[in-house]
Amino acid sequence: MRPELLPALPSRSAARRIHRYVDQPRRLPVRAPPRLSGQDQQRTDHELDQNDMLKIVAATHSGMSIDDFDAEVRGWAATARHPKTGRRYTSMVFQPMLELLAYLRANGFRTYIVSGGGIDFMRPWTEAVYGIAPEQVIGSSGKTRYVSDQDGVRLEKLPEVDFIDDGPGKPVGIQRHIGRRPIFAAGNSDGDLQMLEWTTSGRPAAMAIIVHHTDADREWAYDRKSSVGKLDKAWDMAAARGWTAVDMKNDWAAIYP
């Protein structure tokens, strides 16, 4: 047991299972991606589901170039703050998640974000925040087109949804972007159920983690009855299949960096 490697996850049972899994020998030359992101963005979506939100974004940003959208997102990331905490949204990432990502990369894993959020919205800031490069971000997307005219050459956003990377879409998105099944995946809602199920059904050595949001004081508490980030069927499946369950209130020494 090496608790110093995951200081924000002092839970001996959870940390021990992670260390044991990472340390076991494997035949695969490349270790594959965890999904460790998306929770905070889901909290800001309020009552809209991912499809509704993407339709709004697609419609309001139609005709904008990918470069202009990237610049707009970077400006938002540098200034926007959460109304409750007063923190920048990009600082409201989970410290245990950052530690786990760093720990996995130090042990030869290639890490990815697989989120229901917009892929073009996440890519401008994930490398600075999570250490995950844009090409290792998988998310929902709108359609784009190539334009070459008197104003120059650009990729332009269209007012149409292309792909929803949520629920059963997550395994599809992983296959489209990576071309291999993960051997380590983590999630926090029913939107992650199919990804976790697919990951653990591929090989007996795969590991799945489910994070339970139970800390109403330091973050939010929600599960079965929540209209956003609902954790119901995935929680039942975690118990039935022996996935590693992490209780945010009891297992995390710190929430944010």
**The predicted structure's pLDDT at residue 24:** 77
Mean pLDDT, consecutive 10-residue stretches, the chain (257 aa), reads: 57 77 62 36 41 63 90 94 92 92 90 93 95 95 95 94 94 94 93 94 84 93 87 95 93 91
CA 211 to each of CA 15, 47, 84, 141, 249: distance values in angstroms, whole numbers, following the listed order: 13, 21, 22, 25, 10
Please give the Cα distance from 18 to 7 (Å, whole number).
13
**The predicted structure's pLDDT at residue 196:** 95
Sheet containing strand 184-187, edge to edge, reads 184-187, 207-212, 244-247
Among residues 54, 132, 140, the alpha carbon closest in space to that of 90 is found at 132
Q: Is 94 exposed, middle or buried (0-12, 13-18, 19+ CB in 10 A)?
A: buried
236 Cβ neighbours under 8 A, 6+ residues apart: none
State the distance between the two ends of the chain, measured CA to CA, in whole angstroms: 23
| Bridge partner list, 144 | 157
For residue 172, report the phi and psi dihedrals to the nearest 5 degrees: -65, -45
**The predicted structure's pLDDT at residue 166:** 93
**The predicted structure's pLDDT at residue 51:** 58
